[in-house]
Structure 1
Amino acid sequence: MDITDFYDTFFEEADELLAEMETHLLDLDVDQPDQERLNAIFRAAHSIKGGAGTFGFEALQRTTHLLENLLDHARRGELQLRRDIVDTFLEAKDMLNDQLDAYRQGGEPDPEALERICETLRRLALEEIGDSADVDVSGATAPGASVAAPDPAPQAATPSPAGGRFKVALLGVADKDRNLLIEELGQLGDVEDQEGDVAEYRVTLNSSLSADDIEAVMCFIVEPEQLSIQALGAPDHGAAGQADGKNDGQADGAVEEKSAGQGQGAGAPEAAADAKAPAAQKKTTQSQAAGEFTSIRVPVSKVDQIINLVGELIITQSMLNQVAEDSDTVKDGALVTGLNLLQRTARDLQEAVMSVRMVPMDYVFSRFPRLVRDLAGKLGKDVELVTEGKSTELDKGLTERIIDPLTHLVRNSLDHGIETPDRREVAGKPRTGRLTLSAQHQGGNILIEVADDGGGLNRERILAKARSNGLAVSDTMGDDEVWQLIFAPGFSTAETVSDVSGRGVGMDVVKRNIQAMGGHVEILSKPGQGTTTRIVLPLTLAILDGMSIRVGREMFILPVSAVIESLQPRTDDLYSLAGGDTLLKVREDYLPVVAVHHAMDVAGAITDPTRAIAVIVQGEGRRYAVLVDDLVGQQQVVVKNLETNYRKVPGVSAATILGDGSVALILDVTDLHRLAQSKKDNRIFGTRSPLAEEVEPS
């Protein structure tokens, strides 16, 4: 058997276990540690160590072995936890991540870093419990190392002898998956017998491997709760010897039961508890497992390929509809019915496939408790992190790209926003600041917010800094416009430059990255009360609902999520400003008018605004009146990246292919307004509007 076939699965599972370990470490109360959390942290280290030993990753196995010993002492109550000890565990977890990355890339971990973390763990064991913990993975004691008195209960880290017959139980595994797993067991030894049902299917295996090795391989194929291994006897070692050093709480050493998801070895109090659990309770657990663990792992590249094919299917369906509308076949009832059915099926297929790529925001939010803890400690601040809407789903491609912008915003809130405990106390606030990360769906978009209860933005300081940077500003600017100034390149109001912030880089990168994802950033702030940065993103990058508009002979697409309403302007509602700009009064608001034909240089378009249609749209927190010739209709469009396939086009976010095979540009409303402003002819209608009245927007 080529064991390298399991490498990718091991790396994925190990990443998940390390993430789980970090979460539990951050949530630990060092004064009253939760026993279940300690057990979960120990099990994560133990599982990684087992897999590392199976695959021959010696540095990873050595580090997890030392960490596992310390965690075992902690869960037994022999190691009194403190914040600095938890920090050491987190440092070890970071090193495990680095080692995994090295193995993933086909290399070896940094030997100096390995020795450094091992020495740190050994020193901690020696200082806190009088144990050097300097036992290598083979069980040999390092020269000169002191050894603690043997524990009456065998250690979980003790390896089991190899070879023997095992009863491997697959719990709650469907028939089609079970056959595959039995084939994999056949790669680990000889399958002698098999029987049972979905709730519990038992396989007798004669293998040269140990129970630990079998578990380590199988746990990267099935969930731990779906696997149980019993030693039936080892010809070379004897059944009693097989069980010795592994079975905790069983008087009979002839039979060893090893449940991958239950404590995992010696010294685990939960293992003994599970052994005494009523049969009815175990039956219930197995029944639940039968319905819960029915997922499979699929590479993202395969999902992307399916999404691309679905996109092509939607384009083909649009083409068929176009052909039917342009010919007499539209009178054929059967054909029309078939096309309508194809359209519904294609849409349902698209939604189903897109849902496969959707992942909960917890994937993103789970990265920040560690960042907040470390950075707040470095800055001397007490900060409570609150996350809301962790189950809100977002396209996986967007979650990967949103992490960096959110990291900048979180660091800014911690450094600039939330005050030190003493300053908060003087201001009548709790000494502990509050940072909130939230996510929610809003129409066809997802709304992500980073909010703090700090001092808020300083309007005067921002304006002063903007003037010193040569930006065109005025004291009459609205707060929203002033807040947007912090996104200018090189802009920073920090009094000193530190390794956290102050260099004026970051916020402009945040805005560019968000815009590249088809979203925008808004800022809300109140002096003394805090600041909220709001990111609005489309739910997915692949397909969107679009409003087809016609300007001259050209077709464009506006995202439906940005469209508020449409109307035909009246002469009395149009106002010209001194600078050549035109405003449209919509009820009590004055909206900037953006003529698409002017911004995009389209010939043959309607230039009289009273004959055109004004589509009221929203972008980056502002509303605009976009003038078009005609509204064609609403349809699903497949988003094609224009910058990748051609180049960046001002006023355009992407492109799509219409039913007749032509290419239509998807407009970026805010960038379209900037493009129109840059063409300061600015007589958008060919002639100056006859209205002489000049007004300032309210």
Structure 2
Amino acid sequence: MDITDFYDTFFEEAAELLADMERHLLELDVEAPDPEQLNAIFRAAHSIKGGAGTFGFDVLQKTTHLFENLLDHTRKGELTLRRDIVDTFLETKDMLNDQLDAYRTGEDPDQEAFERICAILQQLAREEIGQGLEGGAPAAPDSAVKPAPEPPSPAAGPAEGGDLSGCLRVALLGVSDENRGLLVEELAQLGEVKSQGGDQARYEVVLSTTVSPEDIEAVMCFIIEPDEIEVTPAAQPAAVQKEVAVEAPAKATPASKPNVKAKGGESSSIRVSVEKVDQIINLVGELIITQSMLDQTVSQLDGVGNGALVNGMNLLQRNARDLQEAVMSIRMIPMDFVFSRFPRVVRETSAKLGKEIELITEGESTELDKSLTERIIDPLTHLVRNSLDHGIEPPEVREAAGKPRTGRLTLSARHQGGNILIEVIDDGAGLDRGKLLAKARESGLNVSDAMSDDEVWQLIFAPGFSTAKEVTDVSGRGVGMDVVKRNIQGMGGQVQIMSRAGQGTTIRIVLPLTLAILDGMSIRVGEEVFILPLTAVLESLQPAREDLYAMAGDDVVLKVRDEYLPVVAVHEALEVAGARTELTETIAVIVQGEGRRYALLVDDLIGQQQVVVKNLETNYRKVPGVSAATILGDGSVALILDIAGLHRLSRSRKQARQASRRPAPDSTLSLKEVDVQ
């Protein structure tokens, strides 16, 4: 058996155990710790130690062995918890994570960091329980590490007499002779092997141990399949044990593998690489495109004479859509994957700032595409830290304002149509309009007192903009918020800000549920068809002459309910021939991008449809004003427009045109001649 085949499984499950460990540590009430949580933390460390020892990851095994001993004293009540002790445990968890990452990449863990964390744990043990910890420390002449006990001779049969209380009977089912020695040696790490014997079909080991059956299964399942091991009390007759093992449901523990199956049952989940899922999604996307082509062809046939074909196509369309939704759901994971990282961030940041802050999470079960959850973590972390630093006031200031000393930070997620809304809400002082405008003028930004609140709030996303009086290691460097906005827009999303003085600020992130499928609006410009992301479309209308105003140069604005919107002619920006040029004959689609609204001039609205997104930059090159492409039902390629990029492209075209501007030859109302109202 090549043990390296199980490395990836160990790395993934150890990472999950460390995540569970951190969650339990953060939830611990140091005044009255929950015994179940302490046991869960201990089991996680114990399981990682067992797996690390099996795979020969010595540094990880020794660190977790020390940590496990300290946790054992804690759960027995011999070590009284304090906040600083929990901080040390969290630091140890971080060190275990670093060591795990080192082994994952084939590197040696940092020896200096390993020795430092061992010294910290030993010092903590001496101060709190009056003695050092056995095992796990770096090798030294007087090392207290005890060698692993030699397993008894395989010739010995199962113990059939004597006192078997406190013993477990571990049955290895279908394990080959050459692999059995490794497994028995691993069991010897968990207790004392009293006897062993049997054949390849069922080899039994009687183990005297204080470790629970669930923990033994969790450790051993790192190297063998769950249905190859059976753990029961040794005091029961073997025949009874087998019957119980089949009928009794497996007991779930935080240290158990998520895909462990009950004895005699089927696995409830499997691990599949993201690359395989992406390949399936791409193939389903191609299937949807093919189905759309066939559907368009069939729609041109006589429905009466081809009724069976039409009915078959309708069934294919329904099944294809169901298949697409089922496959897309595979990539969807709950937002708890993201939110679970922030209790630690809030705990450490609030302590550093000297603030008292309560974190509330809502909508943890709301699902989002895995690729987006990974990309949203960094922007969300910056927004959270910004709210903690700038948004929520110090306890004394809150008290003086009649607020509770403890501030409240809420992270919420919910679905809305085809989007997910993620909000960072604080009950702090809110944004200061006057302060923002003053800082903007000082920074040379073009602002006015007539700006709406929404426009003023968007100033915080300007590059280099910061109202911080001094630079701190939390925030206030004058960089970051513009990057946050750019990253969110790169995911096809947008950022909205709502704030009320003295009551707090809400920053809302609107994201599509997935980047693989897009709900879009098809538009026609000349003979070309383009796709607008439906999330960016607000409304459409036909512009009236009295609502159009000429500005400096070639700029034109459209008045829509007392709001003046920049006009962007798609045919001019993308140089499409044969399009309508008279403004009052076009259709204005009101869209939103990068916090601003624009009026896109198009010839026709074709309709709404769901399209499969194809990365244009990967398959061709980056095109200004275009975010991606798709294949339509007739087999033609349609470009998916980037709203903000299209506006920038339009302005650059106008600036180039102004350099060689000539009078317009006709007198129709066009983009080049609009009467000033």
Q: TM-score range by the shorter chain?
A: 0.7 to 0.9
Matched, 1:549 2:535: no
Q: Per the alignment, do residues 622 and 443 of structure 1 end up closer, same or farther by CA in structure 2, a change over 3 Å counting?
A: farther
| Per-residue CA distance 1:95-117 (angstroms, 9 max, x = gap) | 00000001001121111111110
Structure 1 counterpart of 2:196: 234
Measure the CA separation in 1 of the matches of 2:75 and 2:432: 49
State yes or no: 1:78 paired with 2:42: no
Aligned to 1:491: 465
| Aligned counterpart, 1:652 | 626
1:514 is aligned, of 483, 488, 491, to 488
Instruction: Answer yes or no: is the 8 Å Cα contact 1:43–1:264 preserved in 2.
Output: no
Describe how 1:427-576 pairs up with structure 2 within 5 A: 427-571=401-545, 574-576=547-549
Secondary structure of residue in 2 paired with 1:653: strand
Relative distance call for 1:64 and 1:627 in structure 2 (3 A) is: same
Whichever residue aligns with residue 91 of structure 1, its letter is E
**CA apart distance, 1:263:** 10
Per-residue deviation at 1:609? 3.1
Residue in 2 that maps onto 1:199: none
Asked if the contact 2:149–2:189 (Cα under 8 Å) also holds between the matched residues in 1, the reply is no
1:1-400 equivalent positions in 2, closer than 5 A:
1-136=1-136, 143-144=141-142, 161=151, 186-187=174-175, 189=177, 207-210=180-183, 213=186, 233-234=195-196, 242-244=206-208, 246-247=209-210, 258-260=213-215, 285-286=249-250, 294-325=268-299, 332-400=306-374
Deviation string 1:150-208 (CA, Å, 9 cap, x unpaired) is xxxxx9x99794676789xxxxxxxxxxxxxx9x9544548xxxxxxxxxxxxxxx933
| 1:453 shift after superposition | 1.3
1:260-310: CA deviation from partner (whole Å, max 9, x where unpaired) = 389999xxxxx99xx9xxx99996745997689511111111101111111
> Is the contact between residue 152 and residue 195 of structure 2 (CA under 8 Å) also seen in structure 1?
no
Q: CA deviation at 1:58?
A: 0.5
Q: Deviations over 1:11-52 (max 9, x none)?
A: 000000000000000010111101100000000000000101
Q: Which residue of 1 aligns with 2:225?
A: none
8 Å CA contact 2:627–2:640 kept in 1: the answer is yes
- Contact (CA 8 Å) 2:580, 2:586: kept in 1 or not? yes
Determine the C-alpha separation between the residues in 2 that align with 1:263 and 1:666.
Answer: 49
Contact 1:132/1:145, CA 8 A, preserved across alignment:
no
Per-residue CA deviations over 1:508-533 (Å, capped at 9, x if unaligned) read: 11111111111111111122221111
C-alpha change, 1:306 and 1:262, in structure 2 (3 Å) is closer
TM-score (norm 1): 0.80
Contact 1:415–1:501, Cα closer than 8 Å, also in 2? yes
1:198 aligns with none
Write the distance in 1 (CA, Å) between the matches of 2:543 and 2:153: 85
**Residue range with higher mean Cα deviation, 21-30 or 378-387:** 378-387
1:557 alignment partner, SS class: strand
Tell me the secondary structure at the aligned position of residue 243 of structure 1. strand
Q: Secondary structure at the match of 2:509?
A: strand
Check whether the contact 1:45–1:68 (CA below 8 A) recurs between aligned residues. yes
Higher mean C-alpha displacement, 592-601 vs 109-118: 592-601
Q: Distance in 2 between matches of 1:144 and 1:320?
A: 78
Aligned with 1:80: secondary structure?
Answer: coil
Q: One-letter code of the match for 1:80? A: T
Paired residue secondary structure (2:585): coil
Does the CA contact (< 8 Å) of 2:580 and 2:603 recur in 1? yes
Do the aligned partners of 2:583 and 2:671 also contact (CA within 8 Å) in 1?
A: no
C-alpha displacement at 1:374, in angstroms? Answer: 0.9
- Could you tell me whether the CA contact under 8 Å between 1:230 and 1:258 is conserved in 2? no
Partner secondary structure for residue 343 of structure 2: helix
User: What residue ranges of structure 1 are gaps of 5+ in the alignment?
Assistant: 148-154, 168-181, 191-205, 218-228, 249-256, 266-270, 694-698
Q: Offset of 1:493 from its aligned partner?
A: 1.2
Counterparts of 2:205 and 2:619, CA distance in 1: 66
Is 1:639 aligned to 2:624, yes or no? no
Q: Is the 8 A contact 2:158 2:205 kept in 1?
A: no
1:441-477 per-position Cα deviation (integer Å, ceiling 9, x unaligned): 1111111111111122222222222222222111211
Q: By how many angstroms is 1:241 displaced?
A: 10
* Cα distance in 2, alignment partners of residues 544 and 240 from structure 1: 57
Alignment-derived partner of residue 411 in structure 1: 385
Contact 2:471-2:477 at 8 Å conserved across structures: yes
Q: Deviations over 1:114-162 (max 9, x none)?
A: 111011111111111112104248xx99655789xxxxxxx9x997946
| Alpha-carbon distance in structure 2 between the residues aligned to 1:281 and 1:107 | 41
Alpha carbons of structure 1 residues 162 and 451: separation in structure 2 relative to 1, 3 Å: farther
SS at match of 2:473: coil
Q: Aligned partner of 1:234: which letter?
A: Q
Distance 2:5 2:15 in 1: 17
The 1:536–1:17 alpha-carbon spacing in structure 2 relative to 1, beyond 3 Å, is same
For the residue of structure 1 that corresponds to 2:583, the secondary structure is coil
- 8 Å Cα contact 1:651/1:669 also seen in 2: yes
Alpha carbons 1:379, 1:415 under 8 Å: kept: yes
- Counterpart in the other structure of 2:223: none
- Equivalent pair of 1:450/1:532 in contact (CA under 8 Å): yes
* Structure 1 residues 616 and 60: alpha-carbon distance in aligned structure 2, compared to 1, 3 A threshold: same
Q: Work out whether residues 545 and 635 of structure 1, in 8 Å CA contact, stay in contact via their aligned partners in 2.
A: yes
Cα 1:287–1:76, aligned 2, differ >3 Å: closer, same or farther? closer
Change (3 A) 1:159 1:443: farther
Give, in whole Å, the separation in 1 of the partners of 2:275 and 2:218: 36
CA contact (8 A) 1:162 1:210 kept: no
Distance, in Å, in 2 between the alignment partners of 1:476 and 1:144 is: 77
**1:123–1:242 Cα change, 3 Å:** farther
Identity %: 67
Q: Report which stretch shifted further, 677-686 or 420-429.
A: 677-686
Identify which of 603, 620, 636 aligns with 1:629. 603
SS in 2 for 1:555: strand
Alpha-carbon contact 2:366-2:415 (below 8 Å) kept: yes
Closer/same/farther in 2, CA of residues 587 and 45 from structure 1, 3 Å limit? same
User: In 2, are the aligned partners of 1:135 and 1:141 still within 8 Å (CA)?
Assistant: no
Contact 2:551 2:557 in 1 (8 A): no
**Structure 1 pair 477/230, CA: closer, same or farther in 2 (3 Å)?**
same
SS across alignment from 2:505: strand
Are the equivalent residues in 2 in contact too, given 1:484–1:523 (CA < 8 A)? yes
- Greater mean deviation of Cα atoms: 296-305 or 457-466: 457-466
Tell me if the contact between 1:330 and 1:336 (Cα under 8 Å) persists in the aligned partners: no
